[in-house]
């Protein structure tokens, strides 16, 4: 009986919680180490802090909506987010390889905008319909 009342945590929901938790952990690192990380990446410290706040918001929303949004929605949003992250990281590396100092700013800019867009799309997504319980036979 306790299993029926306990919320069901699957590998997928655990993965969503872990993804949101990772974003929040990364946010703390960005905020706490804004100056040294900014110098290392070639991005201003204020951008590191703003990116950290955006990641904190995005990770918090992602974790909070885990059970109320469909896995299909989460999967699509994470594929888009992670694909953009990889492409932006490659663009930043290419810029740095060509001698530009803007690669870190481009990468951090993505990490500032993308979590907010992700969170907004997640909040705006249709909620999961609650599973219907066992039906009672009312024909008696």
| Ordered mean pLDDT values, 10 residues apiece, the chain (140 residues) | 51 79 95 95 94 96 88 90 94 90 91 96 87 54
CA distance 47 to 38: 8
Q: Specify the pLDDT at position 60.
A: 94
Q: Specify the pLDDT at position 13.
A: 74
Strand ranges for the chain from DSSP E: none
Q: Specify the pLDDT at position 84.
A: 96
Q: Specify the pLDDT at position 129.
A: 75
């Amino acid at each position: 009986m306790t299993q029926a009342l306990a919320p069901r945590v699957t590998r997928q929901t655990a993965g969503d919680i872990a993804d949101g938790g990772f974003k929040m952990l990364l946010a703390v690192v960005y905020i706490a180490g804004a100056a040294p990380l900014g110098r290392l990446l070639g991005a201003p410290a204020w951008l590191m802090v703003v990116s950290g706040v955006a990641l904190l918001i995005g990770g918090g929303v992602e974790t909070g909506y885990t059970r109320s949004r469909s896995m299909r929605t989460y999967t699509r949003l994470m594929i888009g987010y992670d694909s953009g992250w990889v492409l932006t990281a490659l663009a930043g590396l290419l810029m740095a390889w060509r001698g530009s100092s803007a690669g870190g700013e481009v990468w951090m800019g993505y990490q500032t905008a993308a979590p907010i867009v992700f969170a907004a799309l997640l909040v705006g997504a249709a909620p999961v319909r609650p599973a219907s319980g066992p039906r009672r036979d009312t024909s008696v």
